[in-house]
Amino acid sequence: MSAAAPSPAAGAAPDAAPGREAVASAYQRFEPRAYLRNNYAPPRGDLRSPDGVGPWKLRCLAQTFATGEVSGRTLIDIGSGPTIYQLLSACTHFEDITMTDFLEVNRQELGLWLREEPGAFDWSMYSQHVCLIEGKGESWQEKEHQLRARVKRVLHIDVHQPQPLGAGNLAPLPADALVSAFCLEAVSPDLPSFQRALDHITTLLRPGGHLLLIGALEESWYLAGEARLVVVPVCKEEVMEALVRSGYEVRDLRTYIMPACLQTGVDDVKGIFFAWAQKKEGV
């Protein structure tokens, strides 16, 4: 979700920093609960239809983790935002999970759920759905308990910095895997910034490690309460090219077309992409 800051990245084009400053400024008005209502409550949060966007994302993640190839000890979730669904299948395969976000309000929202505090967003429908599609006989309460136990820290991140987690961070590096959902395109003012951000987070991943990347296709803006956030529009081919340039072998790349019934006026997204990529040795 949010992982942007105003300071320029190394090697950035001269006009790139003002664009990132505008992004960072806009995110100061980001409202986590409004974002969650817009995207994770009905109609987009209705998981009963297998054709919905929520079930599609959860299937992509569950099917990829079910291969057994994406596993290890450590995983970092890049730009978690206020959401946890992207880790429900991951938590079975990694014992040390780091969640991250640029915004303190999002880190606070995550903390409410991780500590099971009153007023935390209810993710139980997502947890139930993941248990259903994984088919292991696990209860949703067991799933959530495991995820809470395996998230070891929630850290600040800035994907526009060459060291996204900063010097002396507490995350064990390099990680065995990265997950990132709706982050890089949402905090990058242009394609070169998107590419640099991908390059930066790739430094956190060990050679041979895996990246699972979910993002918006052909989106230029979205709403989160009073905030109207600008997004760099990307297509499937541009995502593929960016991953290859950052030193990945693309193992899988799927797309979902947003149906008219889920185009609710909170953004202009045309679809969603899911990419599974493996960092090449020597990168």
Two tokens at 247? 């030193």
**For residue 122, how many other CB atoms are within 10 A of its CB?**
11
Binding site annotation covers 85? yes
Binding site annotation covers 80? yes
Binding site annotation covers 159? yes
Chain centroid offset of residue 145 CA: 21
Binding site annotation covers 119? no
Binding site annotation covers 180? no
Binding site annotation covers 40? yes
Those residues with Cβ within 8 angstroms of residue 102's Cβ, 6 or more apart along the chain or in another chain: 2, 3, 4, 5, 24, 27, 79, 156, 157, 158, 187
- Give the Å distances, CA to CA, from 20 to 9, 39, 49, 171, 275: 10, 24, 38, 25, 25
In sequence order, which ranges of the chain are alpha helices (DSSP H)? Answer: 16-27, 32-40, 53-66, 104-114, 124-134, 140-150, 191-202, 236-245
Return the DSSP state at 260: G
Asked if omega into 164 is within 30° of 0 (cis), the reply is: no
What are the residues facing 278 on neighbouring strands? 210, 249
Contact between residue 60 and residue 254 where contact means Cβ atoms under 8 Å apart: yes
Q: Which residues are annotated as a binding site?
A: 35, 40, 79-80, 85, 101, 106, 158-159
Binding residues for S-adenosyl-L-methionine: 35, 40, 79-80, 85, 101, 106, 158-159
